[in-house]
Amino acid sequence: MQFWSLFVGVLLITMVLAGTLLGRLPLSSAMVYLGLGCVLGPDGIDVLRPDPQAHAGALMHLTELGLLISLFAVGLRLGVPLRDRRWRLPLRLAFVSMSAMVLMVTLIGVWLLELPLGAAVLLGAILAPTDPVLASDLPSDAGTDPERLGFSLAGEGGLNDGAAFPFVMLGLGLLGLHELGEGGWRWWTLDLLWATLGGVAIGAALGAATGWLVVYLRSRHQEAIGLDVFLGLGLLGLANGLALLSHSSGFLAVFAAGMALQRVRERPRPESRPLAPPLDSAGHSYDTLATHPHHASATMRDAVQAFNTQLEKLAELTLVLLVGAMLAYAKPLPAAWWFVPLMILLLRPLSALGATLGEGLTAPLRGMIGWFGIRGIGSVFYLLYALDAGVSGEVADILLSLTLWTVVASIVAHGVTAQPLMQTYLAWRQRRQRKPAPVSKPED
């Protein structure tokens, strides 16, 4: 215990001190955590042994918690209402692109890997979702008028962890590990339609109701002040728990709850006025802002988001460390040498191409979306979910190896390229915005 206390303390302080230096290097924080996990794992000094087959249940719950934290954080950052047309692209990426990825991986699994149909579908479903935890390292604008690339990737990552669930259940059902119902009726109605729509509805209702109640009590009665940490964690737990009890998607519920909380606005009385700018550097106190009819909702959102963002970073560190250590349990299958590059270099761009057609995207924007399909913690969660559900033997070994090596390759490839590609893209975008529009000649 003393060793682990010392190690965790040194690690966290080191990350704080080295954070600025890492920001100047072509490395993502996830790459550092991944390398450290490999060092601590069985192939290194052997102090971390997260065997995914022996401890699937415990590791699954840990990755689930990290995903929930990240999904809630992503929802809090996206201030564009769902009725806005800018949601078309993230929705198409999360559902159309992801479905195409499941189909392509299924075909490869059956024809080239010689997997049973259920195992091939399961492999496609595990690897289909992009990752909200690791995508948070990509620069993106928050608020109501975000840049399209960052917004689309964040929205896709927030949606498709929940959207992948029906395909995971389909794969398990075809393997005889889940009840699909006669003619697949249970899968169509419960696993697909209700899990998706019910999760979004439950999360949106809880997020809006909780946020409105807190703002109302603060701005009208000066009650329920403080403990914003409890508010964020409580809403996360409430949305996930109620969704799971009703057999819907907890991931979509938490994401929708974060979005709904972000959209809450107070209804100030006509006689109330916004606060004047403070006269001194100290500014207004938290209690003043939290209870003011014009500032209560923004204060609530900022406080919840600030804590949840820090919690998200801690979850990223923990989970990517575990992925690095888990790699020792992935058997070195020969198929990984061609499957992993195929996933990253061909299948992701192809799946994204179908979703981006008709969206009026420039070639650089379409290329960036096609490249940054980061695979990560969402894939690890569904891998562990499948192992905990009873997948075993050779199928388990194949799923474990291909999933972990794809995730590791994605963390490295996207981590190395994120900074230079984003800088090049943003510079191109600025030049394009400064370029004067052509002047049409007047007709004779």
pLDDT digits (tens, 9 = 90+) for 236-247: 999 999 999 999
- pLDDT, one tens digit per residue, over 284-340 is 677 777 777 777 888 888 888 888 888 988 898 899 999 999 999 998 899 999 999
Which amino acid is present at 365? L
Is 137 in contact with 91 (CB distance < 8 Å)?
no
Cα distances from 399 to residues 340, 413, 420, in angstroms, run 12, 21, 32
The residues near 433 (Cβ < 8 Å, ≥ 6 apart) are none
**Other C-beta atoms lying within 10 Å of the C-beta of residue 440:** 6
Residue that has been written with the tokens 């339609």 in this structure: 193
With CA atoms as reference, report the closest residue to 157 among 105, 237, 91: 91
> Confidence band (pLDDT; 50, 70, 90) for 1?
low
How far is it, in rounded angstroms, from Cα 133 to Cα 135?
6
Task: Report the pLDDT value the prediction gives residue 438, as an integer from 0 to 100.
Answer: 52
3-state class (DSSP) for residue 140:
coil
The pLDDT assigned to 211 comes to 92
- 177: tokens are 């590990």
Q: Write the DSSP symbol of residue 279.
A: S
Mean pLDDT calculated for residue range 364-379: 90
Token reading at 364:
């650089």
Does residue 442 have a pLDDT over 60?
Answer: no
* Number of neighbours of residue 275 by Cβ within 10 angstroms: 13
User: For position 14, what pLDDT does the model report?
Assistant: 72
Tell me the chain's radius of gyration from C-alpha atoms. 23
pLDDT at 91: 93
CB 389: neighbour CB atoms within 10 A? 18
Amino acid letter, residue 349: P
Question: Which pLDDT band, with edges at 50, 70 and 90, does 281 fall under?
Answer: very low
Percent of the chain with pLDDT over 70: 87
Concatenate the DSSP letters of all residues of 163-179 into one string: HTHHHHHHHHHHTTSS-
Cα dihedral 381, 374, 158, 66, rounded to 10, equals 40
DSSP H helical ranges for 190-295: 195-221, 228-245, 250-262, 286-291
User: CA 307 to CA 261: how far, in whole Å?
Assistant: 15
User: Across residues 381-396, what is the average pLDDT?
Assistant: 97
Task: Measure the CA–CA gap between 179 and 190, rounded to whole angstroms.
Answer: 11
Taking the C-alpha atoms of residue 376 and residue 138, their distance in angstroms, rounded to an integer, is: 14
pLDDT at residue 141 greater than cutoff 60: no
For the segment 401-439, what is each residue's pLDDT rounded down to a tens digit? 999 999 999 999 988 888 888 888 888 888 877 766 554
SS3 call for 25: coil
**pLDDT recorded at residue 104:** 97
Q: Which helix (H) or strand (E) holds 84?
A: none
Give the pLDDT of residue 21.
64
Distance, in Å, from the CA atom of 393 to the CA atom of 266, rounded to the nearest integer, reads 56
Per-residue pLDDT at 284: 67
* Rounded CA separation 311/302 (Å): 14
The Cα-based distances of 190 to 128, 185, 281, 367, 390 in angstroms read 21, 8, 55, 36, 21
* pLDDT at res. 289: 74
pLDDT one-digit tens code per residue, 19-43: 666 666 667 788 889 999 999 999 9
pLDDT at residue 349 greater than cutoff 50: yes
Confidence category of residue 277, pLDDT binned at 50, 70, 90 = low
Please state, in angstroms and rounded to a whole number, the distance separating the CA atoms of residues 71 and 23: 24
DSSP, collapsed to helix, strand or coil, labels residue 386 as helix
